Amino acid sequence: MSLSQSPETFGTWLLINKLKETDDDKVIDEVISVGVVLRDLMYINHQNLIELLIKYISFISLYSIFKLHTAGLVLIHEILSNSSNMKETVCEYFITSLVSSSSHELPAGIIRVLLSLSFSQYNEYNNDNGLNSTAQCSNNILMETVQRDVHCSSDPVIINIIVSVCNELGLSLQLFLDHLLSSIISRPPFCNAREMLTRQNEVTLSCIEEGKSKLLSKVAMLMGHSLCWKNIIKISQSSNVNWFGLLQFVSCCVHTHIDHVTGFKKCITDLLLISLSQENEEYLIISLLLSRQGGMEGGHVFPSYGNWFKSVFGSSQHSLMDSKRTLTFLIKCLTNLINEDPPYCLQAHITFPPRKLAKCSQLVTGYIVKAKSRLDYLQVLTLLSCSKE
């Protein structure tokens, strides 16, 4: 850089280079103090400073970024809204720096800004045309940071910082949790509910990595049982669902608190009632998936699938089988699912068949015959497989 350059160009270049050269907090504080003086003397080109900061952000410490923000030299909002050509680099910088920070105070300061950008309805940038994209960028950084923290540590801390900052700023923690849960569950691999019937045995609490299990359990605890199940139902009915992630969350929920189990049972029953009244097979399949997931976690937290099936479709006074129409719909759906249902579910349907209403016994008997035939076929396949080994 030539000294013949304009004072504001030279001052801007000097500030950036000094920040690139050090990661010592005390030195950075001194450099920022000089930067404030240069700005006041109009020796800083603000837009040029933003552009250079974005260009060299990988060489500048997170502490420097935060001090630039608090000093009003370059706001984090300005970095995000001006980084369109380097959006991925800038986002990755914030995510990596937040996760690897050894201090809680620094991430808390950055997260405080990102949360304000993402979720506050009354922040100072409300009238900025770039707010929508900037808020989305802030949101993406927060979501990815929480999830990256899970993979880097068996004791995630970022989620705890976010909870503390939300409470401090009076921001909507619920809104953040909704976004976080959607972010976790709305990622590939996607499949439909029917396809998941054949793969559900791959998803139990014991199969979830420790960090992710702690994060999902923390989300469940913070949300409370009512909002947990409301979100689960809402997500399960969307077009793109990562059923592995959703059922992992279900497993964490039923282990979190007894209220979650009570709410879970009601949630499934409500969904079943809608399914039967509208003759909606998709809702019925989702209800079966949810009940089976609960049952897979053990009888100490949720009834086995057989006992659950008997309680809602059997001959008890609480049975949902109250008309020929509902029974016909149920049997039709179960028949359609015979090839997807695992053996233990087929056996449950045989052992605890749906309530036989007057003049409808042949419907139930016909299904039982088909289910037994399918079980026999699966047993033969198992024997053949064992003999080949």
Per-residue HEC secondary structure of the chain comes to CCCCCCHHHHHHHHHHHHHHCCCCHHHHHHHHHHHHHHHHCCCCCHHHHHHHHHHCHHHCCHHHHHHHHHCCCCCHHHHHHCCHHHHHHHHHHHHHHHHHCCCCHHHHHHHHHHHHHHHCCCCCCCCCCCHHHHHHHHHHHHHHHHHHHHHHCCCCCHHHHHHHHHHHHCCCHHHHHHHHHHHHHCCCCCCCHHHHCCCHHHCCHHHCCHHHHHHHHHHHHHHCHHHHHHHHHHHHCCCCCCHHHHHHHHHHHHHHCHHHHHHHHHHHHHHHHHHHHHCCHHHHHHHHHHHHHHHHCCCCCCCCHHHHHHHHHCCCCCCCCCCHHHHHHHHHHHHHCCCCCCHHHHHHHHHCCCCCCCCCHHHHHHHHHHHHHHHHHHHHHHHHHHHHC
**Cα distance between residue 324 and residue 153, in whole Å:** 55
Task: Report, as an integer, the average pLDDT of 73-80.
Answer: 96
Higher pLDDT, 54 or 9: 54
Task: Report, as an integer, the average pLDDT of 220-243.
Answer: 86
pLDDT number for residue 125 = 43
Segment among 111-125, 129-143, 275-289, 334-348 with least mean pLDDT: 111-125
Segment among 54-58, 199-203, 370-374 with least mean pLDDT: 199-203
pLDDT number for residue 321 = 84
**Cα distance between residue 331 and residue 316, in whole Å:** 18
Higher pLDDT, 153 or 369: 369
pLDDT number for residue 375 = 94
Higher pLDDT, 105 or 90: 90
Is 191 a residue whose pLDDT tops 70?
A: yes
pLDDT number for residue 268 = 93
C-alpha count within 13 angstroms, C-beta hemisphere, residue 274: 13
Is 60 a residue whose pLDDT tops 90?
A: yes
Residue 121's pLDDT band (cuts 50, 70, 90): very low
Task: Report, as an integer, the average pLDDT of 237-250.
Answer: 88
Residue 229's pLDDT band (cuts 50, 70, 90): confident
Residue 385's pLDDT band (cuts 50, 70, 90): low
Q: Cis omega before residue 303 (within 30°)?
A: no
**Cα distance between residue 345 and residue 358, in whole Å:** 25
**Cα distance between residue 161 and residue 104, in whole Å:** 8
232 contacts: CB under 8 Å, gap ≥ 6: 246, 249, 250, 253, 267, 290
Task: Report, as an integer, the average pLDDT of 266-282.
Answer: 94
Q: Which long-range contacts (CB under 8 A, 24 or more apart) does 266-269 make?
A: 266/229, 267/229, 267/232, 267/233, 269/312, 269/320
Is 7 a residue whose pLDDT tops 80?
A: no
CA nearest 245: which of 258, 235, 260, 230? 235
Task: Report, as an integer, the average pLDDT of 236-257.
Answer: 88
Angle at 16 between CA 10 and CA 18, to 5 degrees: 100
Residue 123's pLDDT band (cuts 50, 70, 90): very low
pLDDT number for residue 126 = 46
How far from 163 is each of 174, 220, 231, CA to CA, in Å?
10, 13, 19
- Over residues 281-334, the pLDDT tens digits come to 999 999 999 999 999 999 988 999 999 999 999 876 678 888 889 999 999 999
pLDDT number for residue 127 = 46
Task: Report, as an integer, the average pLDDT of 1-26.
Answer: 83
pLDDT number for residue 128 = 47
Percent of the chain with pLDDT over 70: 92
**Cα distance between residue 154 and residue 213, in whole Å:** 9
